[in-house]
Structure 1
Amino acid sequence: MKFGEQLRSSIIREYQWYYIDYNGLKAELKAATGPLAADGSGHKQWTEDDETRFVAKLEAELEKVHTKQQVKAMEISRRIAVSEREVKEVVNRLNERGPGEEGPSEEEFMLLEEDLSDIIADVHDLAKFVQLNYTGFYKIIKKHDKMTGWHLRPAFDTRLKAKPFYKENYDASVIKLSKLYDLVRTRGNPVKGDSAAGGSQASFIRQTTKYWVHPDNVTELKLIILKHLPVLVFNASKEFEQQDQAITSIYYDNPDGFPLYEGRLKKTEGAEAIRLRWYGGMKTETVFVERKTHREDWTGEKSVKARFSLKEKNVNAYMRGELLPAAIFEKARKEGKKSEKAIAEDERLAAEIQYSVLKHGYKPVCRSFYNRTAFQLPADARVRISLDTELTMIREDNLDGRIRSGDNWRRMDIGVDYPFSQLPPEDIVRFPYAVLEVKLQTQVGQEPPEWIRQVIASHLVEAVPKFSKFIHGTACLFPTRIKLLPYWMPQMDVDIRKPVTHDFGIRRPDISGTTTTSDDEEEELDSDDEEAEAARRGAGNGESSRHGARLRVPASDTEGQTVELPTANEDYPIYDSDEEYDENYELEEARRVGGWHYYRVLLASKASAAASGAWNALKYVVPRPRATEMPRAARLQSLFGDQRIQHKRFSAPPGKKIYVPVRVEPKVYFAAERTFLGWLEYSIYIGTIATTLLNFGDHPTPTAFWIAGIFTLLAICSLLYSVGIYFYRSRSIRNRKAARYYDRWGPSALCVALFVAAGLNFVYEGRERKYW
């Protein structure tokens, strides 16, 4: 889908006269008035008068969009203020009614709920309007610079900063709407309790799943969630400030080998992550020292996060070992606000973390910053959803000679001033997506709420299991020191936006339909990257009332609502994972080791390349059957039509590997050993047959000798094959490689060999006895 088509199909009726005139601006680009170009193309040259005319029209379009955005934003603010007064008036009547007096009717609450739903839809539509126009301006500027050769983008960036219609932050509106909607939904009786909802616990266990959310879908997702869960506000009496959402963490590791990074990446039993976290700005006095510990499922334990609080002024002394845990909790014991058992647990945790940091030489290596919007019922942690936006990873080390944090536990040249423009590019990674975490504490066998199942199955999110800010930041910020990359790294180059797959989204009460303002016309061919970006945006930018999707699947099958992409060969994974020989990686590692090991690996790589070339040549020469092309499935036909589906197989950069998570349980070792013993048993059977034929025949003949030899050779080959397979599997299990643990050819080859040997024995014995 080209951007012109996307703009026409996404127009919201209320805003239909206020969108950027994309087609008109394109027409201006084609209306050059200069002399014919010297290249013989027949196009006229772009003149200064043409540039003045185009810039004037562009300024008018920017003023139109900016004015509409400002007017609508003020209207929404007024509507929220009016709804707040109405809700408070109804709730006060409910709370102040006397005995026998009737309170507000159900109809009043329903009208208030409809009004708030309409405001929520307005916020959603405004966000979509802003996003689409922002994209349109940059696309037309890109087209202008390409077609005319005049560079307008730097000057236009300045104009955008003067009229920043795209920088509207809806978080304050979301929080107000959440509070009001919760009051109305609960009919004036919202759930009350500790806003921390478990924050007082030193250790807590949750079942967490993580998803990526494209920035275009963030506001819509927030508005959908707040209709089911209120925004969690820790201090309701305080006016909302942007820095209240800020969360910053400093991650520790040993820069020499990054053992904590590798442990968390491989998910080894007992792998730890140590971090220092604070909420809000840099002036926050309380810092939480946290340790995450990974537990394998077979241990019967759950991964756990434990933490204790520490004053910021004491962090350096604690991390250096100058301040002992007993002194940290001495004041807590005197005050008696916590039980002795809880204090003892915190003290033990502090001692263990301090010992690990000092023993292993852990230092601050990476900082993560993001703004978090949390959705949760107060005092009820069964369902907690958090959405982290503006995620940024920043270096904290001093490895390259640059002093960042120095001897301090964190660098002080930055705070919560996203996007941290003062930092050099090599010190910062700005994550392109928001991160959604769904945390459930459900009983055994209990299903999550249906609306959560719909959210995670919708087009708004992309599942990324076990995503870690620490792993991603470390892998990106230390490219020369990190050799193993997380499995999601190749996905960073793929746009995660998807077409709407089922009826789900923001609904406007009793309003439907959309309006387009222009007829379809043929769009000129844009550049490849521009076309791809526009196509990836797909559906989902339309009016909130147009919640019906073109493509639908049965809502009963939540897992089936995800897009099923075919693969060219199901035997091969999409990633070049560890079970495959990677010449570049092996050579880089061997070159660092040097000596005979390097020459052995070099010889093996050359032999592997020669064998691969010979095999490819043999496959090309020898005739072989070709696969029959099957018609495209109905689901793929509905999603992609007749367009060609491209399949891309990702490989890591030279000298690196993409680590695919593999869960290894103890029973896997036993399974490999049982399989090996099974092969040994059958090899012994075959050897016994050979010995019987050779030594216990009534009339030993050359035929009997050769038949016995065939069975003996078969037994030896079976033994050697089983030993080799056992060594391969054992090494793969120990190294947690994503190897093929099934045997595709071995059992079949053994059966065929046994059949051939038994057949030959029957034929030769029959000839020996002169039956034929």
Structure 2
Amino acid sequence: MKFGKYLLEKSREEWAGEYVDYKALKDLIKISAADYESNTLPSFSPRTTSLTVQRVQNRRDSAEEDFFKCLDSEVEKVGRFTAQLVAKLRERLEHVRAAAADVKPEDAEALLEDAKNVGDEFLQLEKYVNLNYMGFHKILKKHDKMLPASPCRQFYIAHLHNQPWVQGNYSDLLFVLSNVYSKLRGDKSATVVSDPGVTQGVRCVTTKFWVRMSDVSTVKHHLLQHLPVYQVSPADFSGDAELVNQVYLDNSSLELYHCRLDKRPNAMALRLRWQGGAGPTLVHVDRKTHKESWQGEESEAASIVLPEERVVGFLEGEYSVEEAAAEWAARQAPPPGEAAVEAFRAVFTDVQRVVDAKQLKPTMRTQYMRTRFQIPFDPSVSVNLDTTICMMKENSEDGPTCSAAGRWYRDPTLPVARTEITRFPHAVLEIKLTLAGGDAPPPWVSELTDSGLLTEVSKFSKYIQGVATLFADMVQAVPYWVDDEVVRASMLLSAPELPAEVHPTARDLKMGKRSKSRMQGADMAGPGGGASAERELRHPLLGDAPTLRLMPGGSGRRLDEPEPSGLLDWWFRKPPMAEHKALPPGTLPERMEPKTYFANERTFLAWLHMAVTIGSIATALLGYSGATQSRKHPEEAAPQSVQLIAIILLPVALLMCGYALLVYLWRTNQIASRALSYIDDRRGPRALAWLVVAALGAIMTLGIVDLVEEIEASRGGAPPPLAAAAAMRRLLGA
């Protein structure tokens, strides 16, 4: 569908005149393109040499100037209308908030409807902003395509990204709306959660979902109508979300990753977590232990809190449990009981022992904006919504490791290379239900999960996703969800380049371009990143830009194809379908799973089955002709015709057997060595098919000739030797 038609279909009728005038801008581009083509022809107009005579104006410059004037006017129009809408929404929301402060029970229902209308209008405003931004992006792309001599898209996108209506973050309005809903429902006010010290034996039913970035605001609004935004620490909390950093521990063999991926009993995950955009002060040491639910067990979680300056000593084993317990107890008010202190000591000792025994080090960090929805003191339903998720290697590839630098988290001054960071393309929604036995979840939860806005992803883990992407050369298996097209495209952006001996086919180049164009929005290289802002603006009003920025990485380089060194190399090399170009930067090598061996064997057996079938027919015909000749006259034509057919089919069967064996051995070697090369054969099946067609054609031709000669012989005279029989005698020297 053309974008102009799409814009008309998605536009709101009452705002019809406030959208970008896409058609007018497109017409101006066409005029500029026509003038550009006419100006490329030789001009024979007289040259102006007098200063008093006005020079003839260049038509192309005039048309393009009109385009940019119109473009600036449209940007200002959208910005002005957005500011008006936001001001009206703030005024309406303030009115609802004031009315909710002392609402009467009979008026609560009407105020709830007013609050819902404000939320719906806010979603419409977000769609308006996203649609207009997409329109400007499309028209700039069309300009550069039709006027390649004067590209402007990259520059103007950066200018557009700095507009107030694009940069605006109005998540504070969402938080006010949350308080209004909470007040009208009669929920308790959110309170500051004191330092829990230890949370051990937490058991709950947790389900994780993916949410498209374009649906995040809709999901938030649905949740706000039933749960308030929960503030863990209001003093450090602004808007509806807070930044969360988690540093995961693992060893050089990624033992914890593989145990968690395989869901082995008692598989453990250890991480260091802190909230807020500033540096860590208090660090939560979290331990999660996997249990088998089919055995009636549930996974457990435990957490202790340490001062930031004590984390390195804790990981190195220099921080004793007695000292840690004493310091933790001194921070608590009121002082904890003996049971709480013993629980702290148990978790501290166990985690420190595991870190020392498995030689665990900071490996990977996850960073995201978390919005938590929960009624205080009511853990029956708790929802976490994580957006702008990114994963990063904790140890720089070119700089010192955390251990060498005496740190437990990455030095923020070090640059982040392209292969050290990946951005997850979806938001993650986690629903935790703590219900009594036999109780069903609330109806609104079922309504949300069945709305089509969520995609359930069982056992999804940010840590597993990050390690599978950033440590692809070290992992032995990857999670099932990497088959998602959008997720895989995001992984390709962080993958290392293919070695020089691997060459893409024309189809690979086409798919690579699609993935690159689809995921350019995930490349947050900065304002000049072209389409880098498109993904951000899927929810610009309620979202927050990531704090980490992707460092410019290397670009793809041209790879020269090596000359074939042998017959097999020549046969199986890529046919010259297109010019050999490098894939876009970041291509994840395909992992050879065991099923690949089985597929190779099945292909080999399929070829053998066909060859044996043809060979059996040929052998049966030879046996039949030999038995017939032993009983009848040796000059009988029919048996010799049968022999000729068998001699034609038998070499075809032998060639098929040889081809199947050679290809099977070659592919087995390629799979065993995990060679990054193409193992498909585009010539062999075609050649064998033509060979079978030629053999059957020869048999049919001989049969027709014999039939014609037999008909002619039956009309008069003694029948001459049949053509097939004569050919057979010449072949055998008879």
* Normalised TM-score (structure 1): 0.60
Contact 2:394 2:409 in 1 (8 A): yes
Contact 2:592 2:674 in 1 (8 A): no
CA distance in 1, matches of 2:674, 2:116: 54
TM-superposed CA distance for 1:50, in Å, is: 3.4
TM-superposed CA distance for 1:403, in Å, is: 4.4
Residue 217 (structure 1) aligns with = 215
SS in 2 for 1:387: strand
Q: Structure 1 residues 494, 619: closer, same or farther in 2, change over 3 A? A: farther
Q: Structure 1 residues 123, 622: closer, same or farther in 2, change over 3 A? A: farther
Residue 345 (structure 1) aligns with = 343
Q: Structure 1 residues 197, 579: closer, same or farther in 2, change over 3 A? A: farther
CA distance in 2, matches of 1:22, 1:435: 34
Contact 1:207 1:441 in 2 (8 A): yes
CA distance in 2, matches of 1:653, 1:58: 58
TM-superposed CA distance for 1:142, in Å, is: 1.8
CA distance in 1, matches of 2:675, 2:247: 26
CA distance in 2, matches of 1:57, 1:305: 59
CA distance in 1, matches of 2:275, 2:77: 39
CA distance in 2, matches of 1:194, 1:619: 79
Q: Deviations over 1:53-83 (max 9, x none)?
A: 2222222211111111122112222222232
Q: Structure 1 residues 463, 653: closer, same or farther in 2, change over 3 A? A: farther
Q: Structure 1 residues 317, 580: closer, same or farther in 2, change over 3 A? A: closer
Q: Structure 1 residues 402, 105: closer, same or farther in 2, change over 3 A? A: closer
Residue 466 (structure 1) aligns with = 459
1:33 paired to 2:34: yes
Instruction: Letter of the 1:75 partner, please give it.
Output: K
SS in 2 for 1:322: coil
Residue 641 (structure 1) aligns with = none
Q: Structure 1 residues 235, 87: closer, same or farther in 2, change over 3 A? A: farther
The gaps in structure 2 that reach 5 residues or longer are: 42-57, 490-512, 520-533, 539-589, 618-670, 677-734
Residue 595 (structure 2) aligns with = 581
Q: Structure 1 residues 456, 355: closer, same or farther in 2, change over 3 A? A: same
1:80 paired to 2:73: no
Q: Deviations over 1:304-359 (max 9, x none)?
A: 11111111111111110000122100234567722211221221111111111112
Report which structure shows greater RCO (CA 8 Å, sep ≥6). Answer: 1
Q: Structure 1 residues 494, 322: closer, same or farther in 2, change over 3 A? A: closer
Contact 1:197 1:378 in 2 (8 A): no
* Structure 1 residues 535-550: aligned runs within 5 Å: none
1:487 paired to 2:500: no
CA distance in 1, matches of 2:153, 2:594: 46
Instruction: Letter of the 2:276 partner, please give it.
Output: G
Residue 3 (structure 1) aligns with = 3
* Structure 1 residues 78-477: aligned runs within 5 Å: 78-88=91-101, 90-91=102-103, 104=104, 106=106, 108-149=107-148, 150-186=150-186, 190-192=187-189, 196=193, 202-203=199-200, 204-236=202-234, 238=235, 240-241=237-238, 245-255=242-252, 257-333=253-329, 337-398=335-396, 402-403=400-401, 406-413=405-412, 423-477=416-470
TM-superposed CA distance for 1:30, in Å, is: 2.4
Residue 565 (structure 1) aligns with = none
SS in 2 for 1:202: coil
Contact 1:46 1:148 in 2 (8 A): no
TM-superposed CA distance for 1:6, in Å, is: 2.7
CA distance in 1, matches of 2:158, 2:592: 49
* Structure 1 residues 592-631: aligned runs within 5 Å: 610-614=604-608
CA distance in 1, matches of 2:614, 2:214: 48
CA distance in 1, matches of 2:132, 2:368: 26
SS in 2 for 1:251: strand
Contact 1:332 1:338 in 2 (8 A): no
CA distance in 1, matches of 2:191, 2:37: 74
Q: Structure 1 residues 299, 326: closer, same or farther in 2, change over 3 A? A: farther
Contact 2:387 2:427 in 1 (8 A): yes
Q: Structure 1 residues 607, 53: closer, same or farther in 2, change over 3 A? A: same
Contact 1:208 1:440 in 2 (8 A): yes
CA distance in 2, matches of 1:656, 1:274: 35
SS in 1 for 2:484: helix
Give the count of matched residue pairs: 511
CA distance in 1, matches of 2:615, 2:344: 70
CA distance in 1, matches of 2:260, 2:310: 28
Residue 65 (structure 1) aligns with = 78
Instruction: Letter of the 1:408 partner, please give it.
Output: R
Contact 1:15 1:129 in 2 (8 A): no
CA distance in 2, matches of 1:465, 1:488: 9
Q: Structure 1 residues 455, 2: closer, same or farther in 2, change over 3 A? A: farther
SS in 2 for 1:448: coil
Instruction: Letter of the 1:24 partner, please give it.
Output: A
SS in 2 for 1:484: coil
Q: Structure 1 residues 413, 449: closer, same or farther in 2, change over 3 A? A: same
Further displaced range: 216-225 or 336-345: 336-345
The gaps in structure 1 that reach 5 residues or longer are: 92-103, 415-419, 497-526, 542-575, 584-603, 624-651, 658-772
Instruction: Letter of the 1:17 partner, please give it.
Output: G
SS in 2 for 1:23: helix
Identity percentage over the alignment?
30
Instruction: Letter of the 1:443 partner, please give it.
Output: A
Further displaced range: 21-30 or 310-319: 21-30
Instruction: Letter of the 1:111 partner, please give it.
Output: A
CA distance in 2, matches of 1:620, 1:191: 81
Instruction: Letter of the 1:4 partner, please give it.
Output: G
TM-superposed CA distance for 1:363, in Å, is: 0.6
CA distance in 2, matches of 1:39, 1:617: 64
Instruction: Letter of the 1:69 partner, please give it.
Output: T
Instruction: Pick the structure with greater CA Rg.
Output: 2
Q: Structure 1 residues 259, 619: closer, same or farther in 2, change over 3 A? A: farther
SS in 1 for 2:249: strand
TM-superposed CA distance for 1:136, in Å, is: 1.7
TM-superposed CA distance for 1:494, in Å, is: 6.8
* Normalised TM-score (structure 2): 0.63
